[in-house]
Structure 1
Amino acid sequence: MSQPVLYSFRRCPFAMRARMALDVAGIELEHREILLKNKPRAMLEASPKGTVPVLVLADGRVIEESLDVMHWALAQNDPQAWLPVTPLEQGWIDRIDGPFKAALDRYKYPNRYEDSDPRVARLTCAEALDALNSLLSQQRFIHGDTAGLADNATFPFIRQFAHTDRTWFDAQDWPAVQAWLQHFLESERFERIMIKHPLWQDDG
């Protein structure tokens, strides 16, 4: 294997943020688009946990957590200075990956969770976005004047939240968050990482 292999699913926010970092770092790789309901044997052999992203390096090492993929990519090349991650940024990553993501799942997929109330879940997410809007009213990005790892690691989840009910999201008093999100959605990088790839299947 001469270059890394990335197992990915286009719409997965964890895979999105990994692809954002791999793109900015200019990492050449083999992209293997998979279906989560029909995971290829080769991916499961590399990473039995069965979630994306999975990055198999040329030397055979496997990186199977999205933030680890981001850090590995930026350790190779960080042309836009996404690193280092400040304590404030880490706090936002932890909040979005933790309580925000848990509530987002219950808002977007209430039937998957017993006794889930999507209205309560949406309120939990909204409280986080109230705080993020306050921060982004003072500085353009979580990282500061320019976008960093925290911005690129969190926006895919806020995108998913926004698209669950875009009319409701657009009606909220979050002008800074809405402008921040739109910045990423309109970027050439996001367009590149969202290119549709043919489904990859194991040989034979």
Structure 2
Amino acid sequence: MNTLYSFRRCPYAMRARMALRYSGVAVDIVEVSLRAKPAEMLALSSKGTVPVLNADGQVIDESLSIMRWALAQNDPQDWLLKDDSAGQAQIDTLIEENDQVFKVHLNRYKYAERYPEQPMEVYRAEGEVFLRKLDGLLAGRDYLLAGHPSLADVALMPFVRQFAHVDREWFGQTPYGRLQVWLQRFLESALFIGVMQK
């Protein structure tokens, strides 16, 4: 049996759960208390961060690697854009920008009191650069890179959600109407609702 050590509200764990559910891989999900991490999880991965997947003895402790492993098992809607090499390169570029740059701005915006060097609005404006880019990619289509979800959409969505939820009123008044619709479509999807059940 495959076991996923997860934390419900962690965006990295969210995207891993979404890919596993989408691919139809049977997995036993263990909800981890970040204050009391289970010894079994720490024995598998000394990093001590979620998600960690034990796939029949193969340990995968990076969310993106878990997503790619799941899609290698089954990818019915072609999230990997397997016949589109330019699209595949765009997937990699977007995820890297999200994980390496946007995530830093998100953390500083969400926990601005920990970063008193700048006002919260400065961190928000830095993160907004990425929101503007994503909104532009949605011109003329429902998803970032194709007419259907790709790995990029699902890998980025939990982080955009977190950014939007710091100040929902502000996000609702931004000019990023396409991004707002894109996010709402995911939030109302059976896939997302399914992985967020307690």
TM-score (norm 2): 0.94
For 2:16, the aligned partner's letter is A
| SS at structure 2 position matched to 1:5 | strand
Residue 154 of structure 2 corresponds to 152
Task: Tell me the CA shift for residue 49 of structure 1.
Answer: 0.4
Residue 20 of structure 2 corresponds to 22
Tell me, in whole angstroms, the C-alpha distance in 2 between the residues paired with 1:66 and 1:41.
Answer: 20
Task: Tell me the CA shift for residue 114 of structure 1.
Answer: 5.8
**1:98-150, CA deviations, whole angstroms, 9 ceiling, x for partnerless residues?**
11000000000123346353221100111111111111013221131000111
For 1:180, the aligned partner's letter is W
Tell me, in whole angstroms, the C-alpha distance in 1 between the residues paired with 2:115 and 2:41.
Answer: 28
Q: Number of matched residues? A: 193
Tell me, in whole angstroms, the C-alpha distance in 2 between the residues paired with 1:109 and 1:17.
Answer: 22
Tell me, in whole angstroms, the C-alpha distance in 2 between the residues paired with 1:119 and 1:12.
Answer: 24
Task: Tell me the CA shift for residue 30 of structure 1.
Answer: 1.0
Tell me, in whole angstroms, the C-alpha distance in 2 between the residues paired with 1:116 and 1:56.
Answer: 41
Unpaired stretches in structure 1, ≥5 consecutive residues: 197-204
For 2:60, the aligned partner's letter is I
Residue 75 of structure 2 corresponds to 78
TM-score (norm 1): 0.91
Q: How does 1:7-156 map to 2 (within 5 A)?
A: 7-58=5-56, 60-83=57-80, 84=82, 86-113=88-115, 115-156=117-158
Taking only the aligned residue pairs, the percentage that are identical comes to 48
Task: Tell me the CA shift for residue 36 of structure 1.
Answer: 1.2
Residue 173 of structure 1 corresponds to 175
| SS at structure 1 position matched to 2:99 | helix
**Structure of higher RCO (CA pairs closer than 8 Å, 6+ residues apart):** 1
Q: 1:185 aligns with which of 180, 184, 187?
A: 187
For 2:180, the aligned partner's letter is Q
Unpaired stretches in structure 2, ≥5 consecutive residues: none
